[in-house]
Structure 1
Amino acid sequence: MALAAFTDDEDDGLMADINMTPLVDVMLVLLIVFMVTIPALRHAVNIELPHASSRQEDTKAAQIEVSIEADGTVLWNGQPVGPAALREKIAAAARGNPPPELHLGADRKAAYESVAQVMSAAYAGGLTRIGFVTEPKR
């Protein structure tokens, strides 16, 4: 078994210099990108933006209580109303800004037809926010 001596005379062909070509290529690309984008950044359009305040606005919608009794009587905020008067009150309430919420409560023994008629009249009158009021069993 022969051992070869390590010699420093051989040059492996390694370069000790930094290759500048890729660095120059990257710098030229960045220069071109900046030359293209800087004129676009200087061109501005003056827009007057709205100013916001830190104060909260209290725009909670009003609530209207409509209930239906077991015999089909419709109550508007506790007062009995007929079908024509109900449509008039709904149309008048829908003109408010913001439109009020309709809280609809019905007796357990009330016919579904009367509930559907009130809902239909509310939707036709312009009230789109309808909430159902229920009472838990005792």
Structure 2
Amino acid sequence: MAFSTQDSDEVLSEINVTPLVDVMLVLLVVFIVAAPLLTNAIPINLPKTESVAPVEQKDPLVLSIDDKGKVFINKDEIQADLLESNLKAVKAKNPDVRVQLQADNGVNYGEVARAMASIERAGISKLSVITAK
């Protein structure tokens, strides 16, 4: 028996973590061994085929606004007030049209917002805003 020579009524409040570490290591080993067994993969031998060409996607419509506020569709200048009607015509020809909007850094944000509103009113939902890195 061990006797203490000090006369203190303090409670020893240290936790022995060694058994906890042992249990956690055993659980870790169990999970490492059991994890590969829990996959629900069904072994299937897939047939081999020739490569198939990807689905053709048309080039997106590029809508550009330069620093002077001029609007271009695929490098063709148009009037800003005719943008919506031109976009509706393009949408009528190709319902899955994609639009890439690129605006000069110095252009007023109002011009960009008007172009985006015209794109939305034309019924085009696939819009990408192009920026530089």
Using a 3 Å threshold, how does the CA distance of structure 1 residues 75 and 97 change in structure 2: closer, same or farther? closer
What CA RMSD, in Å, does the superposition of the two structures yield over aligned residues? Answer: 2.0
Show the 5 A alignment for 1:10-49: none
Please report the TM-score for the alignment, with normalisation by the length of structure 1.
0.53
Distance apart, 1:59 and its partner CA: 5.3
| 1:114 correspondence with 2:118 | no
Percentage of pairs with the same residue: 22
Structure 2: gaps of 5 or more residues? 1-51
Give distance in 1, aligned partners of 2:97 and 2:56: 11
- What is the number of residues matched between the two proteins? 83
Distance apart, 1:69 and its partner CA: 0.7
Please identify the structure whose Cα radius of gyration is greater.
Answer: 1
Structure 1: gaps of 5 or more residues? 1-54
Please report the TM-score for the alignment, with normalisation by the length of structure 2.
0.55
Using a 3 Å threshold, how does the CA distance of structure 1 residues 105 and 95 change in structure 2: closer, same or farther? same
SS across alignment from 1:123: helix
Out of 66, 75, 80, the residue aligned to residue 77 of structure 2 is 80
CA contact (8 A) 2:88 2:122 kept: yes
Give distance in 2, aligned partners of 1:96 and 1:61: 12
CA contact (8 A) 2:70 2:80 kept: no
- Please list the CA deviations of residues 34-70 of structure 1 after superposition, one character each: whole Å capped at 9, or x if unmatched: xxxxxxxxxxxxxxxxxxxxx6772535410011111
